[in-house]
Chain A
Amino acid sequence: MTEVLQPAATTAPRRLPAPSRSTARTSTFVLRRILTVLAYILVALLLWQVFISVFDVDPLLVPGPIPVLQALGTQLTSPVIWSAAWVTFQEAIFGFGIGATVGMVIAIALAESRTLYRLVNPYIVAFQAIPKVALTPLFIVWFGFGIWSKVVLIATFTFFPVMVNMYQGLRSTTSEEEELMRVSHATRWQRFRHLRLYRSLPYLFAAFEASFVLCLTGAVLAELLGSGTSVGLGTLVQMYTSTYNMAGLFGIITLLSLFGVVFDLIVKGTARVVLRWNRSSGH
């Protein structure tokens, strides 16, 4: 969780060197990733078919890739799945946005004030010890069956890793760097803006990477546990399971995994652009 991002990129506040070149590099990176993902999908489908044929699996338990792809094809043309995907997507994005924002704000406050850290830290540790899923019924009572109970649950998932990582990043400056700011007569804001903030970015993106995918898990889980008014992908999973629509179920799972991969790609791509300076100094 605390590991620093791998090769990423430089943030130049002003003057970026040859921006076109670095943008080109980033887009090649994204393209290569997409092709790699497609290749992996192909291999997975192949292995799946081989498994089904070799072990002669009952299609009621595990359908083959072809009926699943057919089901997925039918699903993708119906508006039901799109509106469900949109609901789940919104829950994940809002939950992530709120959780990450609160996490960053608290991390900054704690890193800037030792007193606040000592006062608040025990509560945060206690909060983290709660299995968040157990809070779902509570959130449903508080925030209703719509998307907001899910958003809040996902926010509680995201908040902690973001806060812990960013706090560590903000405090990862060396004593010489801190002394440099002191002998330069930097104000508290300048020390934050020119030193600590940049130091925290690799840690922050590592947390984003870890928690973004977790957000989808959280969204589906919350929908499984209680969706009433909002029909998300998790709700569809539940419906298909109860009607033994295995091909439909696997279709949703495939879609979710694609979602996860796309999210991951967005975070890694952003990190490469924002952390350009970190590329050669990282490991």
Chain B
Amino acid sequence: MTLAQSEPRVDTFEGSITLRDVTMEFTTRDRASIRAVDTTSLTIPSGQFVSVLGPSGCGKSTLLRMIAGLMPPTSGSVSIGGEPVSGPSRKVGIAFQTPSLLEWYTVAENIALPARMGRRPADKRSVERRVEELLATVKLASLGGKYPSELSGGMRQRVAIARSLITDPAVILMDEPFGALDAITREHMHDELLSIWRESGATVLFITHDIAEAVYLSDRIVVMSPRPGRIVADIANELPRPRSSATRALPEFTRLASELRVHINH
């Protein structure tokens, strides 16, 4: 595996995501069956920033796990870049709800981890170079030798984002990554995420239950209904880019937010 410097992926197919009639059913301990995601279809072109919005428990994380290849759907199919997903792939980077850093490793070692695992890990030198670049990208340059316990919550989540980028994925999946951060840190992180996305050219699937967050970040917002999870709205977000604090003051921002609120409350 080579870790080329990230170049914007223009006009490629690599990062497209397709869900076709995907259903996921869980069997609980008392043999009851829960339908977490119900016959859902979705096509995301390469390079798009899509938010999935919905109340908690509606199947958002389940959807993300199926796209990540962490669990196969009960029925239907998932493909990335036109290829069916049959398990976790290095083309996909994930940032979880909690940073999930390994406290016993330094920041740099945590970021390098996904590239250093497996039977054929990437070359150590090139990984180290890429880690340095990513540390600069997430504004943590010179903190590579620190341990996670020495960082603030926002810094830890940045490390987690840098880690999701180490394999130069064509698709980045994010599961409410900023949910635990305070409002001010969160707004900083939004701007950083957008600049990372612009530079990498990757497709981003961003899960959230925060309407303003979805509006600020995305090209497109998909709204899911409470269980069984289904797509009830698929809305293009035409707000101009680059976005900044001025964006939040636009009347269009408020209009879109209230439209989404209506969809969420039926």
Contacts and interface: CB of A to CB of B under 8 A. Distances in A.
Interface of A: 10-15, 17, 174, 176-177, 179-187, 190, 194-195, 198, 277-281
B103 A195 contact: no
A185 B117 contact: yes
A162 to B, nearest CB: 21
Nearest to A278: B103
B145 interface: yes
Main secondary structure of the interface of B (DSSP, over half): loop
Contacts of A177: 100, 102
What class of interface size applies to chain B in its complex with A? 20 to 34
Contacts of A17: 145-147
Contacts of B241: none
Contact of A186 (B106, B118, B146): B118
Contacts of A194: 102, 105, 113, 117
B166 to A, nearest CB: 9
Contact of B88 (A10, A176, A185): A185
Given A12-B104, A277-B104, A278-B103, A183 B114 contact: yes
A262 B50 CA distance: 61
B104 A183 contact: no
Contacts of B150: 280
A281 B103 contact: yes
B149 interface: yes
Given A177-B102, A183-B114, A198-B103, 20 more contacts: A11-B104, A12-B106, A13-B105, A15-B106, A17-B146, A17-B147, A176-B100, A177-B100, A179-B96, A180-B114, A182-B70, A183-B88, A184-B113, A185-B88, A185-B117, A187-B117, A190-B117, A194-B117, A279-B149, A281-B148
A10 B149 CA distance: 10
Contacts of B125: none
A179 B94 contact: yes
Contacts of B31: none
Contacts of B96: 176, 179-180
B188 interface: no
Contacts of A186: 117-118
Contacts of B148: 281
Nearest to A185: B118
B94 to A, nearest CB: 5
B114 A184 contact: yes
B97 to A, nearest CB: 7
Nearest to B100: A176
Contacts of B149: 277, 279-281
Contact of A195 (B94, B102, B106): B102
Given A15-B145, A17-B145, A277-B147, A183 B94 contact: yes
A183 B70 contact: yes
A264 B262 CA distance: 63
Interface in B81-100: 88, 90, 92-94, 96-98, 100
A174 B104 contact: no
Contacts of A184: 88, 113-114, 117-118
A24 B241 CA distance: 54
A10 B100 contact: no
B92 A183 contact: yes
A177 B98 CA distance: 10
A199 to B, nearest CB: 9
Contacts of A198: 102-104
Specify which of B94, B104, B114, B117 lies most central, judged by the most chain A CB atoms within 10 Å of its CB. Answer: B104
B68 interface: yes
A187 B118 CA distance: 6
A187 B109 CA distance: 17
Contacts of B70: 179, 182-183
